Structure 1
């Protein structure tokens, strides 16, 4: 009964009637841990990845990205760090931005969380977003039409099952963030913990509360959220890849004025 109730809570959050162009964010608690959750509908929202500005420098933080968008008459509605990166802020794994491949796929095991196979790719295609295990992504890449893609690891949830290396008794706790996607890819659900959690706890939240069959870990040392609905504009060490929702600034201003 408890799990059914939690599933209902997660499903209610994900499938509430939505206003066009809206990002839904809320705080949730489960089993003594606290999370911030933002659901995005790729068919309705302009969901993208960002790494380098037009001059070739990494954005590094939300404020630099906001300034660039403002110069174009746009605004940032939501953002989160979206994958592991080197000291230069170049992505560790596969990275595609607006159809341009910046880093190739890394299919083999390696050190750290990224190389804890299976890892995966967050793929944004027209009207859909998917989390896909890396080898599956490689096999189907041409048909997926990912305009944006970021490889990270490990996978948190694979076909409804937790990563086999996650241990319930683990004592390794960090602020962690990641993304899960629905079965048909009509929702991307971004989560950041608001207290330090284990990988097992974090992955279980995606599976048991949000009922997401696929989920991918983004990071645990650099986890940042930009969510005006939650009064979040995190800052800290410079970031590499960033995922965000872009809105037209003029349209948003007109909508706000219409509500007065």
Structure 2
């Protein structure tokens, strides 16, 4: 697994007022622009963990996703920000955040105009069932068209099991009922092929290499008495359990699709 680069945020360019997390366009010390996701926003570091895991699984599968980097935010960064809401967000986000390379000129995916082929649509639906990603609907597709290719963005609303750890083993075996609202479900005509593809690709070793990327400080922020490796292992086991029982969410998706076509 390729290591994640770390950049330092040099300039806050503009807020991207989408949803409740207030991401921002920012410039880093490598000269590139990034969509910066803040640890002090909304669901905090758990959204960043979901973003990292979801994005890197997608990349492993050959799906298009902007480069993910860790982004350091200095404590002095927000002092000159006139907007009090943004100033507070920056203050609470001092330290390690997460950012995605900004795709300049990309346009929002339009399900009426853009029609990915059946296998690509099926892979994306399968991935979102694995991740329990509730945020790929017609209202908010979280996909972009860039250079005539489909790019996935924003997996922060995935892995909602980690907001309540108590029954993660039970949650790992649940179907994903929200798949009925997935923007690509009508086109997902090859779910069984996607299932075979992912099950052969996502070995235990591959999953462990992805979850190993999660910074310790994100894992222990809300559970300081729990070792980071113990929490990291829960993420790995949750994903492994879902992959091993993928027929549960594949059947759910196929049944939901039959009602649409």
TM-score, scaled to structure 1: 0.26
Structure richer in helix, relative to its length: 2
Which of the pair has the greater relative contact order for Cα pairs under 8 Å at 6+ separation? 1
Structure richer in strand, relative to its length: 1
TM-score, scaled to structure 2: 0.26
Which entry has the higher C-alpha Rg, 1 or 2?
2
